[in-house]
Amino acid sequence: MRAMVFHKAYGPLRLEEVAEPEPGPGEVLIRVEACGVCRTDLHIVDGDLTEPKVPLILGHEIVGRIAELGPQTGGPQTEGLEIGQRVGVPWLGATCGHCRYCREGQENLCDAPEFTGYTRNGGFAEACAADARYVFPLGGGDPVALAPLLCAGLIGYRSYRMAGAGRTIGLYGFGAAAHILTQLAVWQGRKVFALTKPGDSEAQEFARSLGAAWAGGSDETPPELLDAAILFAPAGSLVPAALKAVRKGGRVVCGGIHMSDIPAFPYADLWGERHILSVANLTRQDGEEFLPLAAGAGVVTEHRAYALEKANQALEDMRQGRLQGAAVLVP
Residues at the site binding Zn ion, with contacts judged by CB under 5 A = 38, 40, 95-96, 99, 102, 110, 151
- Considering the complex, state which of residue 56 and residue 110 has its C-beta at the smaller distance from Zn ion: 110
The amino acid that residue 304 corresponds to is: R
Nearest distance in Å: CB 327, Zn ion = 12
- Considering the complex, state which of residue 102 and residue 246 has its C-beta at the smaller distance from Zn ion: 102
Nearest distance in Å: CB 112, Zn ion = 6
The sign of the dihedral angle between the CA atoms of 146, 151, 152, 158 is positive
> For the chain, what is the total number of helices (H) and then of strands (E)?
9, 18
Nearest distance in Å: CB 97, Zn ion = 6
Nearest distance in Å: CB 268, Zn ion = 35
- Considering the complex, state which of residue 123 and residue 143 has its C-beta at the smaller distance from Zn ion: 123
What is the distance of C-alpha 147 from the center of its chain?
A: 10
∠ CA 281-64-326, rounded to 5°: 55
- Considering the complex, state which of residue 49 and residue 67 has its C-beta at the smaller distance from Zn ion: 49
With left for phi above 0 and alpha for psi between -120 and 50, is residue 281 left, alpha or beta?
left
- Considering the complex, state which of residue 9 and residue 213 has its C-beta at the smaller distance from Zn ion: 9
CB 277 within 8 A of CB 253: yes
Nearest distance in Å: CB 189, Zn ion = 28
- Considering the complex, state which of residue 38 and residue 127 has its C-beta at the smaller distance from Zn ion: 38
With left for phi above 0 and alpha for psi between -120 and 50, is residue 97 left, alpha or beta?
left
What is each CA distance from 135 to 63, 78, 93, 278, in whole angstroms?
A: 10, 9, 8, 24
Nearest distance in Å: CB 229, Zn ion = 20
Nearest distance in Å: CB 75, Zn ion = 18
- Considering the complex, state which of residue 21 and residue 153 has its C-beta at the smaller distance from Zn ion: 153
- Considering the complex, state which of residue 52 and residue 250 has its C-beta at the smaller distance from Zn ion: 52
What is the rounded distance in angstroms from the CA atom of residue 170 to the CA atom of residue 229? 4
β strands within 132-283, DSSP E? 136-137, 168-172, 191-196, 214-217, 226-231, 246-254, 275-278
71 upstream amide cis, omega within 30 of 0: no
Q: Comparing C-alpha atoms, which of 64, 67, 38, 82 is closest to residue 143?
A: 64
Nearest distance in Å: CB 18, Zn ion = 22
